[in-house]
Amino acid sequence: MNKLIKGNIKLVGAGPGDPELITIKGIKAIQQATYILYDALIHKDLLDYNKRAIKIYVGKRAGLHSILQRDISLKMVTLASQGERVVRLKGGDVFVFGRANEELEMAQNAKIDTEVIPGISSFSGIAARHKIPLTQRGVAESFWVTTGTTSRGTVSKDILPAAKSSATVIVFMGLGNIGEIVSIFKRYKPLNYPVAVISNGTLPNEKTLLSDLEQIELQVNENEIEAPAMLIFGPIVKSSIVQFKNQIHQIPAFI
């Protein structure tokens, strides 16, 4: 009797964008894979760590046709069931807006061996790159991380309590609803409340903008800031020097 070849699935966090910000363990997983299913925000240099593996693009981008999540999970399970070593390569960390739990559930139901390799989350990695401390004694004691847009296209209900808080607020996928998000913050914060917007964080085509609630929507449009972008609300962003097109954007003093 032939021994059954046992495949596996590894969910790998690739970090915020810069290919040098992946972990060594993540690189080793890529090198050992026979199949790599990768997202839209994955830097192509990461795929060069394994020339032999078959690469399958399964990215999702707003406004573009994308593969259904169930079909991605099913593809992974099918390949692993055939003895393949499958890496699911995701931007940031796999458990921050990565839908990794859905992929793990299907794999575990099929009794496929699985492993999760954490990555630097985009919210912390991008903020750190710009010297933005998400917490600071006497300024911000905590932070929120929330999506700006739900699967239905509406603004997340968590934006409202976040805007009421004194915490630093990081919003993913919020550019399309920036007008509504800013209007919620304006109910509870002054017009000169600081906001940073970082598009394509840690990548060569990164664009960054430091503004306030009064000007941010206008400046995003004027400077043609595009998704994927991360919004950071709070006085903590003034702790950094955030540059856009090599120019420092100053905002009024915040008290």
The catalytically annotated residue of 25, 28, 55, 60 is 60
Query: Alpha carbon of 179 to those of 98, 218, 242: distances in Å?
Result: 25, 9, 22
Q: Quickly state the pLDDT bin for 151 (edges 50, 70, 90).
A: confident
pTM of the predicted model as reported, rounded to 2 decimal places: 0.88
HEC per residue, 136-147: ECCCECCEEEEE
Active-site residue, selected from the candidate residues 39, 90, 207, 212: 39
Q: How far apart are CA 21 and CA 16, in angstroms?
A: 7
Quick one: angle between helices 69-81 and 100-109, nearest 10? Answer: 40
Catalytic site residue 60? yes
What residue segments make up the domains of the chain, in order of their start?
Answer: 8-117, 122-248
Q: Please state, in angstroms and rounded to a whole number, the distance separating the CA atoms of residues 13 and 57.
A: 16
- Mean residue pLDDT of the chain comes to 89
Q: Is residue 39 among the annotated active site residues?
A: yes
Residue-level pLDDT at 230: 96
CATH of domain 8-117: 3.40.1010.10
Q: What is the pLDDT of residues 33-58, one digit of tens each?
A: 999 999 999 999 999 999 999 999 99
For tokens 């109910």, name the residue.
187
Q: May I ask the CATH architecture of the domain 122-248?
A: 2-Layer Sandwich (3.30)
